[in-house]
Amino acid sequence: MIEEHGQKIAEQWLTHAAETASQKDLNSHMGMISKRISVEGVPGFDTIDYDIWYRQCRHQFENAMIKSIAYKGFNFVSATETQINFTIYEMVVGADGTLNEQIVEMSLEKEEDEQWRLVHERVLIENDAMRNHELAKQ
């Protein structure tokens, strides 16, 4: 039951994240991101925190750099009443036609205000990504 409920919450979160990005709604989009966010595995960064994420989104939204974001291949990893962990295949299409595809590991957490927010994201390198993504299906 926790797995089904966790997957539903995560899928709703992913849909809303993609919608707020495509609508360039910075406030709503950042409302889905925890102030404690930590992103690993992005080339050129040790980690990305909330301030870096905010500045990057603001720049991308103001300059209409993202055409769309889509997710597929949801793979449940684990869940508790307050945390959901999963991997997902993410596709970001830029306004210039570029396509960035990657498998990411995400952790959502229900924060004190009862909102589910992204607290951790890890971009998986190709070999690890494929192994981890496949293992999550078992």
pLDDT, mean of residues 96-100: 89
Position 44 scores a pLDDT of: 84
CATH of the domain at 126: 3.10.450.50
pLDDT digits (tens, 9 = 90+) for 4-45: 899 999 999 999 999 999 999 999 999 999 999 999 998 888
The torsion of the CA quartet 43, 46, 52, 57, rounded to 10 degrees, works out to 20
Position 125 scores a pLDDT of: 66
Looking at the structure of the chain, the number of domains it has is 1
Position 138 scores a pLDDT of: 44
pLDDT, mean of residues 90-107: 92
Full DSSP string of 13-77: HHHHHHHHHHTT-HHHHHTTEEEEEEEE--TT-S-B-HHHHHHHHHHHHHTT-EEEEEEEEEEEE
Position 124 scores a pLDDT of: 87
Per-residue pLDDT band at 128 (split at 50, 70, 90): low
Tokens of 63: 């300059």
Higher pLDDT, 125 or 53: 53
Tell me the residue range of the domain where 116 lies: 2-137
Average pLDDT score over the chain: 90
C-alpha angle 53-91-4 in degrees, rounded to nearest 5:
90
